[in-house]
Amino acid sequence: MLQNLFSDRSRRSLPAEVLRRYKSSADDILAFRLRIIALCGSVLFMGFIYEDRLLFPTELILPLVKMRVLVCLILLSCFTVTLIKRFRNHIVWVADLACISTIAGVCYVVYLTDGVNSAYYKDGFTVVFLALLIGNSFYYKHQLMAGLVSVLLYTAAVRGSAVPFDAAKYSYSIYIIGSVVFFVALMVRLYEMEHFYGFARNEALTQSENNLTDANKKLEVLFRNAEEMSKIDDLTKIYNRRHFFDVLNGKIESCAKEGVFFYVVIFDIDHFKKINDTHGHLAGDKVIKLVAEAVSSNMRPKSYIGRYGGDEFLIIIDKADQEVFLKRVGRLQEMIGGIKFTTGDQPIKISMTVGAVRVNPGQYRSAERVVEAADMALIEAKRRCRGTINLLE
């Protein structure tokens, strides 16, 4: 399972954006580690000058000091490069440079001193590759490449040394170097697999959370839309009876607390049954829509209109004395009367009769009672004369 999961083919099957984020994360970590290792390595590498003075003749000390200074300058240059973001995508090559330059310094010591007889490479190679293991824990192929270059540098150092070549000692040295390189590359590969698995799992969880969040947002929008649609009458696109009664009940409670009054208006379209019987129900529906549009387009803030049923409508009007209220309702009647609607070649005259009730604080306890009172006022207005307004106080 792990082999399939972390194979190169499996990685290539992942979205390019995920792989890009993984590489960016790995390079950021590598740059941070390399920064620390470059500084510490410079100090440690220069510190071995004291050991050089104990192990090697005096005439070799100056060349060795120059070599160590050169390697330290390269390490410090690598440190500087890690601070530049535009080189971040190529930071693994900087790690390779730091490793190979340090190995080259070790090989130079081998070349300049004991050649194939030198045991100096053992600690030197091991420390360098362990440092590289800590720094570059994401690119095992680069570890193998650095190991191959190290073998070549070591081979060139022992072959170029003045000390006679010994095949047995050389083979043993290659065995030690190869073992260190193999161990480091294996550890890097295992760490890389584990890190990538954790990253991929975190990406999957993040994507799932994002998908869940998006789904929740969509559901929330759908719920709000459904909730809003449940308040609206399908034909007229104004409040339906149920929601209007909810609004009216809230209005009764709030006005009772504030000690203010408001008006509830109920009106219907005069002779609407005749319109349906003569011109058809589609024409009747069109008339209802035109009336609803005309009235709702002229509603003031905190005024509400709803469809009570059939051709009957309800309106809440507040912040108006009786004179202002009657003027407003009168303008609505004029507006309704001015609607021009023709079916076929026959114009349809539209008018409305109004019943209204003034709701004083504490006078009514429910919307049903208020509407019932307004409806009685409407019946009385129809009995007297259609197209009139009857206000019950």
**CA neighbor of 139 nearest in space, from 38, 11, 23:** 23
Q: What is the mean pLDDT of the chain?
A: 86
Q: State the amino acid at position 69 in one-letter form.
A: V
Q: Where does the chain have alpha helices with state H?
A: 2-5, 8-12, 16-47, 49-55, 61-82, 91-112, 120-135, 140-160, 167-229, 241-258, 272-279, 281-296, 322-337, 367-384
Question: CA 51 to CA 129: how far, in whole Å?
Answer: 20
Task: Name the stretches of the chain with pLDDT < 50.
Answer: 1-6
CB burial class (10 A; 0-12, 13-18, 19+) of residue 319?
middle
pLDDT at residue number 252? 92
Helix (H), strand (E) at residue 26: helix 16-47
For residue range 247-259, what is the model confidence (pLDDT) as tens digits? 999 999 998 888 8
DSSP H helices in 280-364: 281-296, 322-337
Q: Are strands 312-318 and 262-269 parallel, antiparallel or unpaired?
A: antiparallel
Report CA torsion sign: 220, 221, 223, 228. positive
**pLDDT tens-digit profile of 334-391?**
998 888 888 777 788 889 999 999 999 888 889 999 999 999 999 999 998 888 999 9
Four-residue CA torsion sign, 235, 236, 238, 243: negative
Report residue 371 as tokens. 């509407």
- Scanning the structure block, which residue is given the tokens 């999961």? 5
DSSP code at position 299: P
pLDDT score at 13:
60
Cα–Cα dist 323/325, whole Å: 5
Tell me which CATH homologous superfamily contains domain 241-392.
Reverse transcriptase/Diguanylate cyclase domain (3.30.70.270)
Pairing of strands 262-269, 352-359: antiparallel
Long-range contact pairs involving 10-15 (C-beta distance under 8 Å, separation at least 24): 11/196, 14/200
- Determine the pLDDT at residue 3: 43
Task: Show me where the domains of the chain are located.
Answer: 2-211, 241-392
